[in-house]
Each structure stands twice: as C-alpha cells, then as structure tokens.
Amino acid sequence: MVPPASNDARLAALSDLKIMGTPPEERFDRITRMARELFGVPMAEIHLLDDKTLFTKSPQPPGAPVEYPREGTFCDATLRKRDTLVIPDLGTDHEFAEHVNVTGPPFVRFYAGRPLSVDDGQRVGTICLLDLVPRELTFEQERMLDAFGRWVERELRDTVERDRAAELQHKLLPRATVLTAGYRLCGLSIPLHQIAGDFFNWRVGDKSVDITVVDVMGKGAAAAILAAGIRSAFAARASRDPADVVAEVNAQLEDDFTETGTFATLFHARLDPGSGRLDYVDSGHGLVLLLRAGGEVERLASVGLPIGIARDAQWLSESVDLNSGDALVAFTDGLLDLFDGTLESVPHIAALARASVDADDFFGSIRRLAVTADAHDDVTVLMVTRQ
C-alpha cells in the first residue's frame, strides 16, 4: 500500500487539478476516442481516483454514472502497483476472476491500465483499455499506451497551469474602487478559456484616474501573454494625455504584434474627478456607452486604428464630461455574443445596465447570461458611475 504521507501528497496533487466531478471535455474525449480506434478495443477510459472514489473523466455517456467506489476496481489495482498493469484474461486472474464486471455486464475479459502522474510523480489516475475477449499487448502497443498516458498527463498539467495563470490574472485585476469625489469604478472579467485576452484596469493618481479596457485578437494563453505586456506598457505611462500614451504603447509593442500577427482594440481614458472631464482614445474598439442621468445613451466615437496595425499610426484624444448621475460602460465584443453577436445588441446592453440597481446587479445579470448563452469569446466589462 502507498504510505499515508505519500497518499496525502497524492490527494493534494489531485485536489489541485480541480477535475473530480467535472463535465466532459473534448481534449480528453479526443484521447479516449483515438485510443479505442488505434488499439481496436470497445472501451478506453480516463479515470481519476481519490481515496474512496473512482471518477470517469472520459468518456461520460449521457445518463451513465461517472463515479464508483474505488476499492476493488481494476484501476485501483493499477495505482497500487504503481506501474502499467496488463491482465490478458481477467477470467483466469486470481484477483479479478469473480469481479462483478467480469462475471456480469459488461463481461470484461481484458484490461490494460497505465498510471497518470503529476507533480513529481504523484499518481492521480489511469488511462485504461478494456476488451470483451482475452488478448495480449505487444511491446509496441505497450509503448503506445505509455505515449497516450503522457498525452493525458500533459493535459492535466496544462489544467494546473491554466488554473494558476487564471488565479494570477484575477489577482492583477483592480478591485472595486470608490473615490471621495463620488465615483465608483468596478469591472467584470469572464474568460472563455480560464485566462482572458481581454482586461480592464484603472490607476488612481493624485489628480486623475487612468482607465483602460483592452481586447487582444485571439483567445486563451497566447492572447493573455500579449495582454499582460499591453497592461504593463500602459501602467508605465500614468496620468498623461491618452493619445500620446496609446501611440507610445503601439510603438513599444509593434514588433510583438508583427511577430505574432495580431492586434488589439482598446479604450484608454484619463478622468479628472474634480471636473468630471474624461479625455479618451478609442482605438478601433467602439464599445463604450455613456448613460446620462436624464435617460440618454451616447456611444462614444471610435476614430482610431487598433494598436498593432501600423507602427507610425497617430491617435487624437476626444473629450466628454461625466456628470452627476451618469455612468460609463466599456465592454469587449464577447458581451455582444451573449445577445445576438452584433451591434444591434448595444441598446439591449444599455437597457440592462439602466434596469440594474447598481454595477453589482448589472454584473450579476451578465454572469447569468454567460451561463445560459452560447458565448464564443472572453467577456470584459468596466463601469464608472458618478453620484
């Protein structure tokens, strides 16, 4: 048996994956589907095992149970052995000949399981092959099963890294801020793939507040890496004219955009809390609304190119006043996807914001939409209100 201390470390590694009980994912189903085809078996499965439960991550047929008691399972024996376990004929095996799945449906006769390891060899599960007739695995097939195991392990490690990146990205977002002049700034980020290529940010200076919303072309980790560079570039240029800042950020990162073949749209503004004057640049973004206290809705002009399009592009700052009772809402196009995906959704977004008690209520409505709608992109929203 595995020593208790080692088992504690194994359970901690499994817990870090946050994968027990999760729904199907194509990245794992693709592996089991290919394994069935290449090995010519009717069943190929990926299991995760804690101290009491075996959880089937893939496949998860609709309506079928995905959790079983761990004790006495073939995969439990694989983890206890701590190495690939091949049983050519379960019907003649001393441990499993009377197993319920051998003597009864589905009448399994062949099993081959390869342990799955993360975090310095902590074994958290198995990938296994099952057949209804006795058979052998050739040396080449055992090597192939090992390769499939490494494939699953990469996916599991990616899960941990994405979780850590998502946690870090979330920590870098500013928390809701209330200014003594009667302003409240708050934001919402809902990544499509755990980490987002969108971001919002603000920085409160002595006499002004810098506000930024950026949407990098693309999704996932690649877009998030570029977004981190853009965030840092803007943070290094606080309390300056927005047009100059955008031009300098574009020049600084042009080589990165060229090498990656991407670009970013953005809204960058400098707010004077004393007067309510907002100087801004809309760099190909066009998704910023000013909700007036009297009920009017203004969509701020977008007259600048996205950054990353041209090295020597120039931008001009526009100005607008944020008066008492007004609200500024800036968002990325992922929010449009929660409606009809087009600019025809803008009035609906404005109406949703108007109908909300406050920004928290507004964001709660967006979260609920994100659960039920067919989202295709990251969703980022920033809201500035003035009492």
pLDDT digits (tens, 9 = 90+) for 213-235: 999 988 777 788 889 999 999 99
Helix/strand/coil for 17: helix
Instruction: Note the pLDDT of residue 202.
Output: 96
For residue 377, what are the CA distances in angstroms to 146, 186, 216? 35, 21, 11
Taking only the tens place, the pLDDT of each residue in 26-46 is 889 999 999 999 999 999 999
Do the domains 4-166 and 173-386 sit in the same CATH topology, yes or no? Answer: no
Question: What are phi and psi for residue 376, nearest 5 degrees?
Answer: -120, 0
375: how many CB neighbours lie within 10 A of its CB? Answer: 16
Domain covering 173-386, topology: Phosphatase 2c; domain 1 (3.60.40)
Separation of alpha carbons 86 and 128, rounded Å:
9
CATH number among 3.30.420.130, 1.10.3720.10, 3.30.565.40, 3.30.450.40, domain 4-166: 3.30.450.40
Give me the residue spans of the domains in the chain.
Answer: 4-166, 173-386
Taking only the tens place, the pLDDT of each residue in 248-266 is 999 999 999 988 889 999 9
> pLDDT tier at 293 (50, 70, 90 boundaries)?
very high
Query: Can you count the helices (H) and strands (E) in the chain?
Result: 10, 17
Separation of alpha carbons 267 and 280, rounded Å:
7
With a cut of 90, say whether residue 336 has pLDDT above it. Answer: yes
With a cut of 60, say whether residue 246 has pLDDT above it. Answer: yes
User: What are the E-state strand segments in 159-287?
Assistant: 177-178, 183-190, 198-204, 209-216, 264-272, 277-283
User: What are the E-state strand segments in 30-102?
Assistant: 43-49, 53-58, 67-69, 85-87
- By CB neighbour count within 10 A (0-12 exposed, 13-18 middle, 19+ buried), where does 269 fall? buried
Judge if the upstream peptide bond of residue 59 is cis by omega within 30 degrees of 0: yes
